[in-house]
Structure 1
């Protein structure tokens, strides 16, 4: 089963991506060039990624005392990806990019995530370079970002620390000026960093000639003390190997050392590291301390880093989506070919009758349809967000501002919803396989292990939920939420005219009203502790409402494309919509009461009661 028909429908029949060619930035493009990019990505993913997904899972990275060893297949895949130009796909022609819409870039990357998310592509490298293009100096862009876009160097983001986890206000990594002339270095104000960073994906390897670490650290106050909280957090470029102003390696290592590799449940093909900055293993000019160059203004590190974090959150959502789809396709193929049992009814009581394939059993169809609804719906959501990015960058001033606010509201959902429900799809894929699903003879157990990380990756469920209810739905006096509600209501008004969709439209309108009321009820006392005590159930209900809207809008596009419902793909999309409205959307009635009542059951339970 191929991803391409679903991708083509969402891009061209639903999102109308071809129309972007009418904009000046994309004037050289057409559906032909978009398709050529997708064809290239599909081919590389098929030839260089998919055949080695199991290999990189079983041959984990290891440190030989000098360097980290990865399978040759990973080197080959990463080189093919870099050579394709996808690292700079959306960048200007002037710096070697293709000026592709981000929607097309995201679609191309979907093939790699589905083929082997563990090998990885360039999410962090591209995000790192994009941040520098936004906040770096001209020389920082030329020396660091452009070498990342070319694939010569790779990039990371270094936020978490062993003692702090996701609590960035508790970071302890220090950055002090590197001598009296620290402000005169052409690469940026030069500091010396000391500290430890944990859970750094791709933090050490030999896939590229250099690694550009973006590191959050605190600049001490005048008394040499670190200011509590997020004040003083700044962002620094810390290359693994020192470079000159022409982007050439100086031949000297920076004082960044691998402290250890984390051995994970999934994503085993990607190194995950604990890094020590400034421990003195690789002293620079005889002095301990990793050399770092300030990005942006002192104390504004989090502002800069959120540019990369939000991009990474959508990337994590896409990774979760594609792992779910990989499991769905595998279990669908298995169900079509696995004979077991007989039909329900008198005919099924004849033991001499031939077995039927398990896809003919109603409960197996339920599990397959759930996977389809979760994963194809999540893909639509991720592409919708990507389309908003294009609108933000190339739309009118009004459209760009609306897209910005909509992205603010949708980003926690785009990250968290696929991470939870496409993981559930992977669980169902194992269930469809029965006992075989737990064995390594089939790929579905690996898909589940790989996907389990995504509920934690780039901010846990609790963090995303707090961000959504505590900040995103309130910002600009709730304007982002109002814009989203307007788009949902527009879909409702169009769908209510279609006999096949009218009941769904009414159900979505009621769900939207319920979520709006729950938002107000949660904040009725103005007490954040009360409002946020049940933020995760709120986010689950919010996410399901958004997904019901996405499916209803997709169903409208399917009917517009095939009003007679003669194509099996149309029937499948309508069935997935029906499944979501009948089986999933009603769940919000179970999630929202604790939000509306500001239920204190969890928040007030004393520790001893556990």
Structure 2
């Protein structure tokens, strides 16, 4: 099925997006306006993004010593995207937004991720601006966030450092007050930053007037010492070009220098940089040190940055999803037209018989069905996450708080599950193409390369797993896990009303009980040993099992809607086939994953370093 048809089913039949139009914030909208937004996004992605996906992969960003050079198509694509208003789709009318539900903004952005994930990487700009709208001062919002939403500025997230990577406790970038009057700066307390940030996506380019870096750095205490650990981190706005209180460029270049471009396996159309802050290459106002404006209170940086990180994690999950979806569509098209071999049986031994399209072979159908189940299931998961964001912002207070906590639990899954299994979908897409799949004559090898980055982007698989098992399933007394369990049980009850779905309902109920038991057993080891080391040693298999349980729930929930239309709709039959595939081929995998979790297996801890 075309992406547009799948989106409309998930939005209207499954997630009841039209119900959001009955809320005051979205009262001006209807299904017709929602569809108009989807149509606009689909058209821009088709015309400005998709034709240049191979170009930006082969014509990588380069630095001429003064500026980063990108293909002209990248500029035109971003201009079209910004002009469409999609950067501010969910924002207030008062600042030029459309007041669309976040669900619709997310659905519209799927077209860009599918057309060219590295041209369409606007997620950090939106996340940067959304953080400032939530935690910045009124002037910081007006000067920096509003100009991101209207397309004048872009944004980044500067956390990692060459020596620290994901270990934010070891961040060494420091910020010192800039003069005795640093607290009186209208744009926020003014500091001078010195340090190095690595792996900064879109860290330097000429796509917009300005780049707004959000930087984690440590403020020295009264003795001039950096506070150890993440408690010492504060958050700073560090623009590439300084601006006045009206958001206009002053003509002063800030002391932020591009130290180098990282040349990547995939996402080659997005610059990835090493940035030096305050090295003195661009002295500003007579001194070295990049000027930055503090957001929030000292020491509150990591908490504020999580607002952007969590949004980026969900966006990465959607990017991975759409790469999986693109590979599925490409391999499906190929399988329908590529003749090879004959079917088993007497006729198949007759070489005079014509060859059949490879889609006629059972194993090719297996690979296509797996891709469809992974990609469409992941799409449903990420749209559900977007729907929970809307519940937080416009739902009734009690429901909004439940949505917040449920989203906390699901965020590691929304990021990690598509990153792993839609990558597997891309691998299967290559396999369907056979030898042609790993040549550059076909797009599937690029989809795989682009997607391989997503298990690392915005927190590796291990980080997501530790977050899930170490924090999310236990936070607030385990209430988030209880909320998820209640939703799963509700789906099981509804599915049990359909005879065809009853076996899957029972299977899901049993599988989720295994997940809950393994969760309890894993933490019993921590209680016995007084340390979570043994528990967290198997956090990744725990997350894999948890994720498969969540996707089984989503597919069963989708099946309860598809069941009614199955007799008349081949699309509904396809969704039921995906559900069947997932329950027969995928859900049984959780037993092996949970066994090592429940037993507190210490193989990976016990192996001597010399044994490697």
TM over 0.5: yes
Quote the residue 2:390 is aligned against: 390
> Is the 2:492–2:508 contact (alpha carbons within 8 Å) kept by the matching residues of 1?
yes
Whole-Å Cα distance in 2 between the matches of residues 120 and 279 of structure 1? 32
Contact kept? 1:218, 1:232, Cα under 8 Å:
yes
1:528 to 502, 526, 532: 532
Q: Using the alignment, how far apart are the partners of 1:152 and 1:288 within structure 2? A: 27
Q: In structure 2, what is the Cα distance between the partners aligned to 1:345 and 1:101?
A: 54
Match of 1:141 in 2: 141
The equivalent of 1:37 in structure 2 is 37
Structure 2 Cα separation of the partners of residues 161 and 105 of structure 1: 32
Deviations 1:78-126 (A, max 9, x none): 0000000011000000111000000000000000000000112421001
* Structure 2 equivalent of residue 609 of structure 1: 611
Match of 1:277 in 2: 277
1:584 and 2:586 aligned: yes
Match of 2:552 in 1: 548
Q: Secondary structure at the match of 1:231?
A: helix
The yes-or-no answer on 1:267 pairing with 2:267 is yes
How far apart in 2 are the matches of 1:18 and 1:384? Answer: 14
Tell me, yes or no, if the aligned pair for 1:211 and 1:239 is still in contact at 8 Å: yes
Q: How does 1:266-345 map to 2 (within 5 A)?
A: 266-345=266-345
Query: Which residue of structure 2 aligns with residue 490 of structure 1?
Result: 490
Aligned to 1:242: 242
Residue 310 of structure 2 aligns to a residue whose secondary structure is helix
Match of 1:227 in 2: 227
Q: Which runs of 5+ in 2 are unaligned?
A: none
Does the Cα contact within 8 Å between 2:196 and 2:274 map onto a contact in 1?
yes
The answer to whether the 8 A contact 1:391-1:403 is kept is: yes
Q: Work out the CA distance in 1 between the residues paired with 2:187 and 2:476.
A: 37
3-state SS of paired residue (1:523): helix
1:78/1:121 contact within 8 Å kept: no
For the Cα contact (< 8 Å) 1:257–1:281, is it kept in 2? yes
Partners of 2:167 and 2:378 in 1: CA distance: 28
Aligned residue for 2:499, secondary structure, equals coil
Q: Tell me by how many angstroms 1:604 deviates.
A: 2.0
Distance of 1:401 and 1:19 partners within structure 2: 19
Deviation of the 1:260 alpha carbon = 0.2
Q: CA deviation at 1:497?
A: 1.5
Local SS of the residue matching 2:606: coil
Contact 1:11 1:17 in 2 (8 A): yes
1:52 aligns to 2:30 (yes or no): no
Please show how residues 407-446 of structure 1 align to structure 2 within 5 Å. 407-446=407-446
Using the alignment, how far apart are the partners of 2:303 and 2:541 within structure 1? 28
Distance between the aligned counterparts of 1:528 and 1:25, measured in 2?
A: 45
Mapped to 1, the partners of 2:563 and 2:386 lie a distance apart of 24
Please report how far the alpha carbon of residue 76 of structure 1 lies from its aligned counterpart in structure 2 after TM superposition: 0.2
1:81 and 1:121 in contact (8 A); partners too: no
Unpaired segments of 5 or more residues in structure 1?
A: none
Asked if the contact 1:515/1:542 (under 8 Å) is kept, the reply is yes
Cα distance, 1:2 vs structure 2: 2.2
Q: List aligned pairs for 1:51-130, cutoff 5 A.
A: 51-130=51-130
Indicate if the aligned counterparts of 1:242 and 1:253 stay in contact, CA closer than 8 A.
Answer: yes
Please report how far the alpha carbon of residue 606 of structure 1 lies from its aligned counterpart in structure 2 after TM superposition: 1.8
8 Å Cα contact 2:195/2:277 also seen in 1: yes
Deviation of the 1:221 alpha carbon? 1.1
Residue of structure 2 equivalent to 1:559:
563
Shift, 1:312, TM fit: 0.3
Aligned residues of 1:192 and 1:292 also touching (Cα < 8 A): yes
- Partner Cα distance (1:231, 1:32) in 2: 48
Alpha-carbon deviation of 1:412?
Answer: 0.1
The alignment's C-alpha RMSD in Å is 0.6
Secondary structure, in 3 states, of the residue corresponding to 1:293? strand
Task: Report the secondary structure of 2:601's partner residue.
Answer: coil
State the shift of 1:366 in Å.
0.1
Query: What is the rounded CA distance, in whole Å, between the counterparts of 1:71 and 1:523 in structure 2?
Result: 52
2:97 and 2:540 map into 1 onto residues whose CA distance is: 40
Q: CA deviation at 1:603?
A: 1.4
Give the structure 2 partner of residue 596 of structure 1.
598
- Displacement of 1:306 in angstroms is 0.3
Please state how far the C-alpha of 1:539 moved relative to its aligned partner.
Answer: 0.1
**What SS class does the counterpart of residue 259 from structure 1 fall into?**
strand
**Cα deviation 1:500-521 (Å, max 9, x = unaligned):** 1110000000011000000000
Distance 2:12 2:276 in 1: 47
3-state SS of paired residue (1:434): helix
Structure 1 contact 205–271 (Cα < 8 Å) conserved: yes
Per-residue deviation, residues 204-252 of structure 1 (Å, max 9, x unmatched): 0000010000000000111111121112100000000000011110001
Q: Distance in 1 between matches of 2:146 and 2:592?
A: 50
| Counterpart check, 1:374 vs 2:378 | no
Deviation at 1:532, TM superposition (A): 0.5
* TM-score calculated relative to the size of structure 2: 0.99
Return the offset for 1:565: 2.1
Aligned to 1:450: 450
